């Protein structure tokens, strides 16, 4: 996209007000350029849309040597990984509205194969959520999680536990080697279909008793399996029949089309950008979700692909409290439930709704954006936010596994500059 070297006045309207925001597009362009030029990103796209789908701002840049044969724009396809989660959760809320399932339903109602799931405890009898990497838990000397013991699950796992990451599922990134290794050995993403994935998951231990603690992981993937079993449809068809078709969204789906060209996977784990090695994205073992036309495994927590334009349309549905292009997908009460406080309520930076992070006032104080933004992101460096105060959505799209140190803070800086200009205009 050609740079705009002047300040431009954008006016966009919502149902009850008109917002006027002055963007110095050059200052935003320069931030995008910085992260390409400092070697922390192979490609980068920033797109803002108003609640009618009109672009407020868009700019992209790429390293031509690393990405020689791809145009980067609003129609470029990205692997969105965990940005799939809010789509799956929205589907669950739709099925709840239709009486097909209930949030309080036991998961075994739909996946009886999980009836004998065991819980992994340390030799001292502690759930392994007391040990995982990054948890900041003080453990006693010689108090180790490995080897773990397996005990009967004494808690009933519910659909709501899956939504809130309280069901006990995890990724192979816990930092607990004995737990990570057994998950890796299953190569979950190599499963041929949902039934095979369910069988593999049924052979893995839980990291904690359901309902005991929030722990990020494969919970939303299992939620997608519940959606399939409850409805009798594949997750792929549920997305088509309930979301993208009725809402007229193009650019959000499972499986490539015959002419879809996905971007390469880049890694910055060595502090320089290079093509990622096979098996390097090891969140579920050596395999990643399949995107081929013949793929029959649809992973609700990780497996979707999308364009910036298509995913922005989905975000605008949430922004418009469940409605898009004249079709109501969710009731307003369901959307409110999605962004209401549910977990991590003592975090100074915000709280979790249903896998939707809502930012606190501290983010505004630090120059990262504003209080009340709904945010999320994915494994390969994708990021989004929804601004319900000003009726627009933002996307920062890349395809980077393990961003090099010089790229840390990217999202906060880009989002921060957007709001720096907004606040100046609102004074």
d(CA 43, CA 380): 12
Tokens coding 324? 């898009």
pLDDT of residue 142: 61
Kindly state whether residues 174 and 315 are assigned to the same domain. Answer: no
Tens-digit pLDDT profile for residues 207-262: 999 999 999 999 999 999 999 999 999 999 999 999 999 999 999 999 999 999 99
Residue 321 lies in a domain: yes
| Percent of the chain that is helix, strand, coil (3-state, to 5) | 30, 20, 50
Tens-digit pLDDT profile for residues 233-247: 999 999 999 999 999
Kindly state whether residues 248 and 378 are assigned to the same domain. Answer: yes
Residue 424 binned pLDDT confidence (cut-offs 50, 70, 90): confident
Tokens coding 241? 């029949």
Q: What is the CATH number of the domain that holds 265?
A: 3.40.710.10
Kindly state whether residues 330 and 397 are assigned to the same domain. Answer: yes
Kindly state whether residues 182 and 120 are assigned to the same domain. Answer: yes
Residue 166 lies in a domain: yes
Residue 329 lies in a domain: yes
Q: Where are the beta strands (DSSP E) in 286-326?
A: 305-307, 323-324
Angle, CA of 88, 286 and 191, to the nearest 5°: 55
Kindly state whether residues 120 and 14 are assigned to the same domain. Answer: no
Residue 1 lies in a domain: no
Kindly state whether residues 57 and 138 are assigned to the same domain. Answer: no
* Inter-CA distances, 54 with 47, 251, 373, Å: 10, 16, 20
Kindly state whether residues 242 and 227 are assigned to the same domain. Answer: no
Tens-digit pLDDT profile for residues 314-324: 999 999 999 99
Looking at 232-349, list the stretches that DSSP marks H as alpha helix, in order from N- to C-terminal side: 235-238, 308-319, 332-339
Q: How many CB atoms lie within 10 A of CB 405?
A: 9
Kindly state whether residues 249 and 358 are assigned to the same domain. Answer: yes
Kindly state whether residues 202 and 124 are assigned to the same domain. Answer: yes
Q: How many CB atoms lie within 10 A of CB 116?
A: 11
Report residue 221 CA to chain centroid gap.
Answer: 12
* Boundaries of domain holding 304: 7-81+238-276+298-426
User: Model's pTM, two decimal places?
Assistant: 0.94
d(CA 394, CA 56): 9
Residue 285 lies in a domain: no
Kindly state whether residues 145 and 195 are assigned to the same domain. Answer: yes
The answer to whether 139 and 131 are in contact (CB under 8 A) is yes
d(CA 404, CA 271): 4
Kindly state whether residues 397 and 318 are assigned to the same domain. Answer: yes
d(CA 191, CA 201): 11
Kindly state whether residues 120 and 67 are assigned to the same domain. Answer: no
Tens-digit pLDDT profile for residues 42-54: 999 999 999 999 9
Residue 288 lies in a domain: no
Domain tally for the chain?
A: 2
Residue 282 lies in a domain: no
């Amino acid at each position: 996209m050609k740079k705009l070297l002047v300040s431009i006045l954008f006016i966009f309207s919502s149902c009850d007000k008109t917002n006027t925001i002055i963007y110095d597009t050059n200052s935003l362009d320069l931030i995008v350029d910085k992260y390409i030029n400092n070697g922390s990103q192979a490609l980068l796209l920033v797109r803002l849309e108003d609640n009618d789908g009109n672009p407020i701002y868009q700019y992209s840049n790429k390293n031509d040597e690393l990405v020689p044969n791809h145009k980067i724009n609003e129609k470029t396809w990205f692997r969105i990984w965990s940005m799939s989660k809010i789509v799956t959760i929205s589907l669950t809320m739709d099925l709840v509205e239709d009486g097909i399932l209930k949030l309080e339903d036991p998961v075994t109602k739909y996946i009886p194969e999980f009836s004998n799931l065991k819980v992994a405890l340390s030799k001292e009898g502690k759930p392994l959520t007391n040990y995982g990497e990054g948890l900041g838990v003080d453990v006693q000397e010689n108090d180790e999680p490995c080897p773990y013991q397996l005990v009967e699950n004494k808690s009933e796992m519910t659909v709501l536990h899956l939504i809130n990451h309280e069901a006990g599922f995890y990724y192979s990134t816990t930092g607990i080697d004995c737990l990570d290794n057994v998950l890796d050995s299953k190569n979950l993403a190599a499963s041929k279909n949902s039934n095979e994935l369910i069988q593999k998951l049924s052979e893995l231990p839980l990291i904690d008793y359901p309902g005991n603690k929030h722990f990020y992981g494969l919970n939303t993937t299992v939620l997608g399996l519940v959606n399939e079993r409850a409805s009798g449809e594949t997750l792929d068809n549920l997305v088509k029949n309930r979301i993208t078709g009725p809402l007229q969204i193009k650019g959000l789906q499972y499986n490539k089309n015959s002419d879809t060209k996905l971007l390469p996977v880049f890694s910055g784990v060595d502090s320089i950008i290079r093509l990622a090695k096979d098996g390097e994205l090891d969140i579920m073992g050596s395999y990643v979700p399949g995107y081929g036309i013949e793929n029959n495994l649809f992973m609700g927590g990780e497996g979707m692909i999308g364009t910036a334009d298509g995913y922005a349309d989905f975000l605008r549905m949430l922004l418009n409290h469940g409605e898009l292009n004249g079709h109501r997908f969710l009731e307003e009460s369901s959307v409110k439930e999605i962004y209401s406080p549910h977990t991590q309520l003592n975090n100074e930076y915000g709280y979790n709704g249903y896998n939707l992070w809502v930012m606190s006032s501290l983010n505004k104080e630090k120059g990262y954006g504003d209080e009340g933004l709904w945010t999320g992101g994915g494994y390969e460096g994708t990021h989004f936010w929804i601004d319900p105060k000003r009726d627009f959505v933002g996307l920062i799209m890349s395809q980077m596994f393990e961003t090099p140190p010089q790229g840390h803070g990217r999202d906060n800086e880009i989002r921060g500059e957007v709001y720096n200009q907004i606040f100046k205009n609102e004074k």
